[in-house]
Each structure stands twice: as structure tokens, then as C-alpha cells.
Amino acid sequence: MAPPLIQLKDIRLTFGGTPLLSGVELNVAPSERVCLIGRNGSGKSTLLKIAAGLVEPDGGTRFVQPGATVRYLPQEPDFGEHKTTLAYVESGLAPGDDQHQARYLLEQLGLTGEENPHNLSGGEARRAALAFVLAPSPDILLLDEPTNHLDLATIEWLEQELDSRRSALVIISHDRRFLTNLSRSTAWLDRGKIKQIDRGFASFESWRDEVLAEEERDQHKLDRKIVDEEHWLRHGVSGRRKRNVKRLGNLHALRDQRRNYRGTTGSASLAASEAEQSGKLVIEAKGVTKAYGDRMIVDNFSTRIQRGDRLGIIGPNGAGKTTLVNLLTGGMQPDSGTIRLGANLEVATLDQHRESLDPKSTLAEALTGGRGDQIMVGGKPKHVVGYMKDFLFAQEQRGTPVEVLSGGERGRLMLARALAKPSNLLVLDEPTNDLDLETLDVLEDMLGDYEGTVILISHDRDFLDRVVTSVIAPEGNGKWTEYAGGYSDMLTQRGADLKRETAKAAPAAEKKEGRSAAPASAPKRKLSFNDKHALETLPKKMEALQADIAKLQRVLDDPNLYTKDRKKFDDTSAAIAKAHDELSAAEERWLELEMLREEIEQA
């Protein structure tokens, strides 16, 4: 086995209170592909900085193979005093490096090299930073959320670029698809320690559940052992004094072990505050057009969004996704065409750039608007600390300034603000940015239970596949097309990946001709959101109906009921007949959906 390129041994770090890192071990061999997984605040980014040599731990050792080159991609790059993106990228090259790589990578990432680094958008800054770390072709790449602010086409280009390189990779990312496609081993940072397996991210969640289940069994055994020892000390027959003293010492050790056990952090409790139900029709757009000068953003677009739909909007940065959403929700007027909004619409919006957060305000003030200790959640007052805990904030963070919160914490704060407002239409712009995987799971479940309508802008392919029922994608020159299903379904129907730059997309006639030349692929069948919801809820409904029927039958079993109370007999008879009809309909519907599900899975 080749010696590690980088080795962290017994790394310890404490920022007051509970240790952040406690005896962490991490080895990265040549060409190894490691995904570093952990909750927000678990210390992943800090550990990556220690691996990069940027943070000095309280204890432990860091070893890097002599001559090995390390490049680190931070979440927020520092461009220093460089005047252009080309100068910035070239500053990372050593004398023996290929100087042409700087310009080549910038071009591949959609930059000219002449941009002022200090005037870049979030996506442009991330692309310049990627060019900086990739240009030297280092032996080790340490990447902290490399896909944040990137569009889907650039994410897929980055996947292919990293996969073709021989560099060892350590990646922190919330993008499941990205991690699944690139990782070959998994390092799980949990409660200050690392557990590692030689399998990629695809195996992580099942492995994690097994580890936590075994840990829970071990803690249960420890609790039982403590109870048994306490019972022996109180009621056992006295033996020699030394033996008793030793056994008492063992009990104290067991209690210390139990007391020092750091249980898993609870899951976030995300729930949208739902307003009264909207009308069946939520939004209808007919022939909508919007242009800025000579540039067409939306050209003759029509759609019909109904209550309960989950609509995903994708496309390259700058394609006009936010403009399209503003048009659909009435925040912007089209140049031509009509937008009709449904009745009783209550909209809650999540801002991608967190621009509405005052960095100097405290966490509690950001939630309450600076007004006391209460926050209105679904129209009802709730104490701000209790609401903070629902989103995994500790009580001690109440007075923490927003500017010192991590990216994941700011993401949860924005979700907390958006979900507190009663709504029946959620508009979410990149809600997955910086969220850990566990919080993403809870967010997916919340959106699944939400009875209103969702419009979602996202570059997270896995999240789109799990959540949305249709996808709107740009075709170039202001043309947008809606596809049934998730992101993978869109690719199947479209027959091509998204272009990296819509301005360079082929003319519509050429694209149509190219598509007709290829064999048409039938759209992949998929259960709708309502079908999935029915499959999950119908068994409970059938159980409840069966219980109701049994209860009503017990009433009818009284042989004297007809003579004692004729009205009660008639009402009960009518109720049991209705319940039988509902049960029969529910069973038929469930059987129909179950057969459809099996047919889709076997296809």
C-alpha cells in the first residue's frame, strides 16, 4: 500500500466548551477520492483548513509527503490585490507549471481572465477560485463546497475534469450526486471523531444508520449494566470489602462513561406555516415575453401551475431563472403576454443571496425583527429560543451576530424566516446551499408534506429528482421548455445535457432537426406527487376506516338497538354503509397505485 500523501493524527481542537475535534485521524493516499461528511458545525471546514496547513490545532500532528503539492478551495476565496482573474490564477503557478493552464481553465469556466476579481458574482468568484486550485495540477485537492453557486452545466464539467485527474481529492459538499459520482471512500466527522470506510458516498447513509443503531444498542446495554450494578450494591450479599470497593469503582466508571457520552445531534424540525388553501389554479402564463435591451430573457412562454405542483427551474447562471420566477409570481410585469394568479395566494420566498439579513443583527433579532422574544409562526406567537431549537440552533446562539454564522447556519436561518410566514406558495431560490445532508433530508420531507405549491430554483440534481414533479429548462434565446418529472427525466426527454452557455445554443431549427435525427426516447413514467402521497397515506386511511367499521358494528350488535333507539340504528347503519364504500374505494385506489409503482420499478 502506498504511503499517505497527507496524514492527520490525533488532531484536537477546542473553541471553548465541548471539543470540536477530539483525536481525529485522516489518511489520504495518492489518487484517493474522499468525501468528508458531517453536520453543519461539526468541524469539517476547520479540519480541511488544518489539512491545508492554515489552522494550527491544539494537539496532534500533520504530515505531508515531501514534495507533494496541496491546493485548498475555501468557501469564500481571497483574491488579495490581484487586478484580474488571470493574474490571480497565475499567482498560484510554480515555475515548472504549465503557464497555459491558467487561461485554458478560465476559458473552460466561462471567464475571459480580464475580470476584476473584486467585482465578481458568487458564481464567477467560485469559478475563478476553481481555476486557481486546478491550474497547478496538484497532488492533493482539498475542496470545500466546490459546487456552491455553480450552475448545473458547470457542475457536470467540474465532475468530468476532477474525474480525469490523478490528484487525490478530499471533498466537502451537500451535492449528493456530485459526491456519489466522484468519491471512493467516506470520512464521517461525527461528535469530534472520524469514522472512515473504503466505500463512496453511495454507501454512506445505510452505513451511518447501521453505526448509529449499533451505538444505540451499546448504550442500552450500558444502561442495563449500570442498573444491575446498582441493584447488586444495594441488595447483594456482602462479600469481602476489597471486592465491594472494586465493584463500586467499576460502577463509578460506568456512570462516567454514560455521563460523557455525546449523543447524536437532533434533527431539524422543519415545518412550513400553511395558509388557507389556494384556488386549484395557482398561476397561468400565456405568451409571456421579457427582454432587457436586445437580449431576450423569456420569449413567448406559457405554463399552467396548479395547487400541489412542485416546479423546478434550472439553467446556467445568467439564463434568467430569477426573472422567470419574478414574472410568474407577479413581482415583475412582462413586455407582452399575460400572467394570471390564482385566488387566495399567500407567497413565502427564500432569498438565495441572504441579502435581507443584516450582518450586525443577532440571530434572535433576525428572527423576530428586533421585536421582543416572540416570533409569529403560522400566525401564532412562539418563543424565539424554542423556534431556534427547531432549526438546530443552541440557546446560547441567541445573541450571536449574523456575520459570524457559518454558511449552513445562515441557510437554516433563512429557512426559519421563510417558513414562519403562512403560505400556500413557496418560492425557494437555491435552498440547499450550505445545508448538511441531514437537514436536506428533513427539508425534502417537509416539502413532501407541504400541501401548497412549490417553485424551486436549484442546481442540486439529486434534490430536484427527489422533490419536483416537473422541470423548466432554457433552450437558448429566451426559449424555455417544461418537462414532466425530475432532472433525470428531463435529460431523458431532452436527449442532451444542458448547454454551458445559452447564448451559444444552436438555433431552434437546428436543434429540432438534430433531435428528429436521433431516435425519440419515450418519457420515463413516474408517480406524481399526489400518487406518492396517496400510496403513503392510504394504508393509514384504510386502517382507520376498518377501525370505524368495527366500532360501528359493535353498536349494531346490540339486538335491542332497533327497538330502543330507531334513529341511532338508522344513523349507524348509514354510517357503516358509507365507511364500507370508502374502504372499498381506498383499497381499489391503493391497489391501482401499487401495481403502477411495481410496473415503473420493473421498467
Is 221 among the annotated ligand-binding positions? no
On whether residue 500 sits in a domain, the answer given is yes
Domain extent at residue 554: 529-602
On whether residue 178 sits in a domain, the answer given is yes
> Which pLDDT value is given to residue 504?
36
Q: What are phi and psi of 589, to 5 degrees?
A: -65, -45
Is 495 among the annotated ligand-binding positions? no
Is 302 among the annotated ligand-binding positions? no
Provide the CATH number for the domain around residue 576: 1.10.287.380
**Rounded CA separation 65/297 (Å):** 51
> Which pLDDT value is given to residue 352?
57
Q: What is the dihedral of CA 554, 558, 562, 564, to 10 degrees?
A: -120
- Among the candidates 517, 541, 558, a domain finishes at 517
| pLDDT for 14 beyond 80 | yes
As a whole number, mean pLDDT of residues 269-292 equals 83
- Among the candidates 158, 185, 206, a domain finishes at 206
> Which pLDDT value is given to residue 86?
95
On whether residue 164 sits in a domain, the answer given is yes
Is 44 among the annotated ligand-binding positions? yes
On whether residue 238 sits in a domain, the answer given is no
* Same domain, yes or no: 189 and 335: no
Most confident listed range (73-77, 165-169, 279-283, 587-591): 165-169
pLDDT, tens only, 194-203: 999 999 999 9
As a whole number, mean pLDDT of residues 228-235 equals 61
> Which pLDDT value is given to residue 375?
85
- Tell me the pTM: 0.67
| pLDDT for 580 beyond 90 | no
* Same domain, yes or no: 583 and 466: no
Is 17 among the annotated ligand-binding positions? no
pLDDT range class, residue 243, cuts 50, 70, 90: very low
* Same domain, yes or no: 564 and 488: no
**Rounded CA separation 149/581 (Å):** 53
* Same domain, yes or no: 463 and 549: no
Grid coordinates belonging to 369: 425583527
pLDDT range class, residue 70, cuts 50, 70, 90: very high
Q: What is the dihedral of CA 222, 225, 230, 233, to 10 degrees?
A: -140
> Which pLDDT value is given to residue 135?
95
| pLDDT for 61 beyond 90 | yes
Is 433 among the annotated ligand-binding positions? no
> Which pLDDT value is given to residue 235?
57
* Same domain, yes or no: 481 and 449: yes
Burial of 301 (0-12, 13-18, 19+ CB in 10 A): buried
* Same domain, yes or no: 310 and 428: yes
Is 320 among the annotated ligand-binding positions? yes
| pLDDT for 329 beyond 70 | yes
Provide the CATH number for the domain around residue 452: 3.40.50.300
* Same domain, yes or no: 487 and 574: no
Is 39 among the annotated ligand-binding positions? yes
Of 160, 125, 164, the closest CA to residue 145 belongs to 125
Question: Strand locations in 469-602, DSSP E?
Answer: 470-476, 479-484
CA distances from 533 to 323, 350, 464, 593, 595 (A): 31, 25, 17, 11, 15
Query: Any idea what DSSP says for residue 309?
Result: -
> Which pLDDT value is given to residue 521?
38
Is 532 among the annotated ligand-binding positions? no
Is 315 among the annotated ligand-binding positions? yes
pLDDT range class, residue 524, cuts 50, 70, 90: very low
Give me the helix-helix angle, 241-259 and 204-235, nearest 10°: 150
Give me the helix-helix angle, 437-449 and 529-556, nearest 10°: 60
* Same domain, yes or no: 391 and 509: yes
On whether residue 256 sits in a domain, the answer given is no
| pLDDT for 313 beyond 80 | yes
593 vs 53, residue with greater confidence: 53
Helix (H) or strand (E) holding 509: helix 508-517
> Which pLDDT value is given to residue 523?
40
> Is the separation of the CB atoms in 421 and 289 below 8 Å?
no
* Same domain, yes or no: 162 and 287: no
On whether residue 563 sits in a domain, the answer given is yes
> Is the separation of the CB atoms in 273 and 325 below 8 Å?
no
pLDDT range class, residue 159, cuts 50, 70, 90: very high
Provide, rounded to the nearest whole percent, the portion of the chain with pLDDT above 70: 82
Q: What are phi and psi of 597, to 5 degrees?
A: -60, -45
| pLDDT for 559 beyond 60 | yes
On whether residue 242 sits in a domain, the answer given is no
> Is the separation of the CB atoms in 344 and 424 below 8 Å?
yes
**Rounded CA separation 400/253 (Å):** 37
* Same domain, yes or no: 353 and 405: yes
Which range is least confidently modeled, 154-163, 212-221, 263-272?
263-272
Q: How far is CA 299 from the centre of its chain?
A: 32
Which range is least confidently modeled, 176-180, 245-249, 421-425, 523-527?
523-527
On whether residue 252 sits in a domain, the answer given is no
pLDDT, tens only, 19-54: 889 889 999 999 999 999 988 778 899 999 999 999
Is 42 among the annotated ligand-binding positions? yes
Grid coordinates belonging to 399: 445573541
What's the number of domains the chain is made of? 3
pLDDT, tens only, 433-474: 777 777 788 788 888 888 899 999 999 999 999 899 999 999
CA distances from 383 to 157, 364, 387 (A): 46, 10, 6
**Residue in this structure with the C-alpha cell 477520492, named with its chain if needed:** 33
- Among the candidates 472, 490, 517, a domain finishes at 517
> Which pLDDT value is given to residue 1?
58
Is 564 among the annotated ligand-binding positions? no
Task: End-to-end CA distance of the chain: give it in Å, rounded.
Answer: 43
| pLDDT for 146 beyond 80 | yes
pLDDT, tens only, 394-408: 788 888 888 877 777
Of 431, 454, 428, 418, the closest CA to residue 308 belongs to 454
**Segments in 109-240 forming alpha helices (H):** 122-134, 152-164, 176-182, 204-235
* Same domain, yes or no: 314 and 463: yes
Grid coordinates belonging to 594: 401499487
* Same domain, yes or no: 486 and 556: no
Q: How many CA atoms lie within 13 A of 421 on its CB side?
A: 17
| pLDDT for 355 beyond 70 | no
CA distances from 54 to 9, 16, 50 (A): 16, 20, 6
Average pLDDT, the chain: 82
